[in-house]
Structure 1
Amino acid sequence: MKIKAGIVGGAGYTGGEMLRLLINHPEVEIVFVHSNSNGGNLISDVHTDLLGDTDLRFTEELSPAIDVLFLCVGHGDAKKFLDANPIAAGIKIIDLSQDFRLTEAAGNKWVYGLPELNRERIKKADFIANPGCFATAIQLALLPLAAKGQLKGEVHINGTTGSSAAGQGLAATSHFSWRNNNLSVYKAFEHQHLHEIGQSLVQLDADFDGTLNFIPQRGDFTRGIFTAVYLDSELTAEEAQAVYEDYYGGHPFTKVSAKNIDLKQVVNTNKAIVHIEKHGGKLLILSMIDNLLKGASGQAVQNMNLMFGLDERQGLRLKASAF
């Protein structure tokens, strides 16, 4: 019997990617796609890339006849939605906003949905807080070191993200005329994802108290996140490579590359690729993902697969748009 899924907030970028994945998932049936602004409209009129793939329409009604609910709404809106719309017991919830990512605020009911960190907990969970996109890329660069107690002192991070990370709403910094042939820094040292990153690092290394110096950038491209992380390390290049290969050996979507990497290797996939180099006393870790897939909807489907006992890769075997 197929997993019956509902989607709330289906008109945005993450909702559109969720639809694209679930329509083609062999074990899922989409019961409803909720949207207050598009009720009654054909999904393919909003997500024109789905023309011919589905005859579903957006609805303003919710159905309890589902097994899992995906919340693809804005930050702050997931909690408001759940407060206003109690969900029946037995329905699993995967929230793609930041509302329940921090244990201090959300409590232990919500499991932080990074499979490379919490796979066994995710399998048993009813409520998943899907990680942030920058947070995913940066954590995947650092988790193996934290697990070995090798995060010492300050960590320096530069990360560049595509325009789709800003969402579908219009803003001066997402306008084509501004973004094209342009580059800018925003939220330097203060990005909201730093809190969930720190929480995860302490989960693996209770003694970690280093500073994460993060400089986020808006890139002149649509999809993807590329991060460059460096820190002082006594590990040799060979030792560091072994640490990463050992940590990610059982995780199907995170790959360790011996060669230098480029963003086109991951765009349109649920992959994360990391590459490690040693330069004098510094360890450099490059990490990249597609912000809308491994950084959002793809990871949410990966979490659903784990929660329902499916192969983690089900519905997510996607080829990169490498050319």
Structure 2
Amino acid sequence: MIKVGIIGGAGYTAGELLRILLYHPQTEIIFVHSSSNAGNTVSDVHVDLLGDTGLKFTSTMPLSDVDVIFLCMGHGKSKEFIEKNELPGRLKVVDLSHDFRLKREGNEFVYGLPELNREEIKTAKKIANPGCFATGIQLALLPLAAGNLLVDEVHVQAITGSTGAGQKPTETSHFSWRNSNLSAYKIFEHQHQGEILQSLGQLQPGFSNGFNFVPIRGTHTRGIFVSAYTKFEGPLEEANELYQAFYIGHPFVVLSEKNPSLKQVVNTNKAVLYLEKHHDKLVIISLTDNLIKGASGQAVQNMNLMFGLDEKAGLNLKPVAF
């Protein structure tokens, strides 16, 4: 069994991670760290786990007792943790913050998008789990980049659920403000743009045709609805064949023949893609659950690859559907 530690265990992503790992066939959760909840039962915070576990939050982090740790502490805190703690040589790390997603000198983390870097992930000791928007958008565009077919500006609009803002209440996540409301934010300046452009450039070196991303806060709780379009000269059949070929062997990416809806992916690690062609434009719809494929599920997918397990282990999750 793979012995697991979770650091920063009180937030939404940690809660989903716990839900998945408790029923994973090859994992045993050794500790769940939360300095603000130490001594409390995990199900006191993650109430959906009532009756599923008697685990309690700890203030200690016995790193030598585990094989892998998941860092769910929030942006900026993972880097501080890595700098302050001497990690056992055999310990593997999956970080769910944005601290290590961008390549720079001295960064030992592999970018953890399996559909892009599967082979590197298999041999990695440290993984930077992608962002939620970044996951859905990249899956919509990677096949085009791999074929050097991003020949014009790319336009993306993506709507996210309220859980994307995290557990801590803010002005724009308050129910009374968010319910029956829509708002755009960080237009053309979202923090996930860097990792998206990094990956597109990895497959299509020199890509510089323009990337225009408008993020939108939705009224729903979870799920990301991405609509992207760009110039594509070939017929729709050619585009579908391109996407099918690129995602062969990647079990969580599904191409739909019908225009899909968000509830088809909520509660799953799936990404559902759908293509339409209008004049010289290819439209790509990409649907993911921001907490699972966009965070905790993808983190477990990465762990599976790192330990040589079936990529789908613990991730055969059913969508909510209605």
**Cα deviation code 1:177-229 (max 9, x no counterpart):** 00100000000000010000000011111131121100000000000000000
Opposite residue 79 of structure 2, the aligned amino acid is: K
1:282 and 2:281 aligned: yes
The amino acid that maps onto 2:300 is: V
Distance 1:301 1:227 in 2: 23
Alpha-carbon distance in 2 for matches of 1:311, 1:190: 37
Distance 1:122 1:84 in 2: 25
Q: What amino acid is aligned across from residue 273 of structure 1 in structure 2?
A: V
1:314 is the counterpart of 2:313: yes
2:38 counterpart SS class: coil
Q: Give, in whole Å, the separation in 2 of the partners of 1:47 and 1:105.
A: 38
Please tell me whether the aligned partners of residues 100 and 106 of structure 1 are also in contact (alpha carbons under 8 angstroms): no
Q: Which residue of 2 aligns with 1:89?
A: 89
Q: CA deviation at 1:85?
A: 2.0
* 2:109 matched residue in structure 1: 110
Residue correspondences, number: 321
Helix, strand or coil at the partner of 2:260: coil
C-alpha distance after superposition, 1:147-202 (max 9, x if no partner):
01101121000000000000001101000000100000000000010000000011
* Residue pair 1:33, 1:57 contacting (<8 A) in 2 also: yes
Distance 2:284 2:72 in 1: 30
Structure 1 segments unaligned to the other structure (5+ residues): none
Pairs within 5 Å for 1:14-163:
14-63=13-62, 64-104=64-104, 107=107, 109-163=108-162
| Cα distance in 2, alignment partners of residues 47 and 128 from structure 1 | 25
Which secondary structure state, in structure 2, belongs to the residue aligned with residue 69 of structure 1?
A: strand
Is the partner of 2:292 in helix, strand or coil? coil
- Go from structure 1 to structure 2 and tell me whether the alpha carbon gap of 1:186 and 1:105 turns closer, same or farther (over 3 Å shift): farther
**Structure 1 residue identity aligned to 2:187:** A
Unaligned runs of 5+ in 2: none
- The 3-state SS of whatever aligns with 1:277 is strand
Cα distance in 1 for residues equivalent to 2:109 and 2:209: 26
Aligned partners of 2:210, 2:300: CA distance in 1, in Å?
Answer: 32
SS at match of 1:206: coil
Query: Which residue number in structure 2 is paired with residue 200 of structure 1?
Result: 199
Structure 1 residue 106: deviation in Å?
Answer: 5.5
CA distance in 1, matches of 2:82, 2:57: 19
Q: Which residue type is aligned with residue 68 of structure 1?
A: V
1-structure distance, mates of 2:234, 2:29: 48
* Aligned Cα root-mean-square deviation (Å): 0.8
- Aligned counterparts of 1:235 and 1:17: Cα–Cα separation in 2: 41
TM-score (norm 2): 0.99
Runs of 4+ more than 4 Å apart: none
